[in-house]
Amino acid sequence: MTARLCWVAIFGTAFGWVEAAVVVYLRRIVYPEGFALPLAPIEPELALVELVREAATLIMLAAVAMLAGLTRWQRFAAFLVAFGIWDLVYYLGLKLTLDWPASPAEWDVLFLLPWPWLGPVYAPATAAALMVVFGALVFRREEEHPGHADRWSWALGAAGASVLLATWLYDLEAALHGAVPQPYPVGWFLLGAGLLAACGTRFMTTR
């Protein structure tokens, strides 16, 4: 691992802990009786603050990736590593401070843009682990053999990301109206994760 990628990992780790700390405070303020779906709505002013904070989080992760990478694919790979580590450390931080989640199958609100993403913890954690592994591999590969993704890599990556996003965004009733979430579509999640793994493998082996 190069020094630049090490610093990306360090940033992701520290930023993940900051994210966990923020959520600890939020849950104490907004859900003092416990966090579980379906959730009661939060105040509009606080919701707006959260939306802007999440957008700022993406900008910060992208900014670090732009500084770390020398090519566009290295920058993209650095973003994957930073985002993946940030997400994994975030859940680790919640487990250490709140003893939450009780199990990887516990439901969580994953993101708020453009509307709340819902899913069991193992889903974003698995996606984050894939991001770290393939992001690090692509980053190193780009140092030795700068290249570009072929159309199959693009197709596999776009399909995998779309399927995963669909599993987190499909339940509009629960996301927008505080209803009990429908059973999570595990089969579709496995398909999306498999497509992303195939994308990373093809990119690593095709030049």
Backbone angles phi, psi at 108, to 5 degrees: -145, 160
Closest Cα to residue 81, out of 21, 130, 149? 130
Q: Judge whether residue 149 has pLDDT over 80.
A: no
The model's pTM: 0.92
Q: What share of the chain is helix, strand, coil (3-state, %, to 5)?
A: 70, 5, 25
Angle at 166 between CA 165 and CA 172, to 5 degrees: 115
Lowest mean pLDDT among 21-25, 115-119, 124-128: 115-119
Domain membership of residue 83 (yes or no) is yes
Q: For the residues 115-130, what does the mean pLDDT come to?
A: 94
CA dihedral 104, 93, 14, 57 (to 10 degrees): 60
Q: Report the alpha-carbon distance of residue 146 to residue 72 in Å, rounded.
A: 10
Classify residue 195: in a domain, yes or no: no
Confidence of residue 1 (pLDDT cuts 50, 70, 90): low
| Structure tokens, 160 | 């995998």
- For residue 29, is it within any domain? yes
The answer to whether residue 98 sits within a structural domain is yes
Q: Model confidence over 152-186: pLDDT tens digits?
A: 888 998 999 999 999 999 988 888 787 888 999 99
Q: What's the domain count of the chain?
A: 1
pLDDT at residue number 207: 64
In a domain, 203, yes or no: no
Domain-embedded: residue 129: yes
Q: Does residue 191 form part of some domain?
A: no
Q: What is the pLDDT of residues 47-87, one digit of tens each?
A: 899 999 999 999 999 999 999 999 888 999 999 999 999 99
DSSP for 149-197, please give it: --HHHHHHHHHHHHHHHHHHH--HHHHHH-PPPPPP-HHHHHHHHHHHH
27 close to 94: Cβ distance less than 8 angstroms: no
Instruction: Find the domain containing 35 and state its range.
Output: 3-145
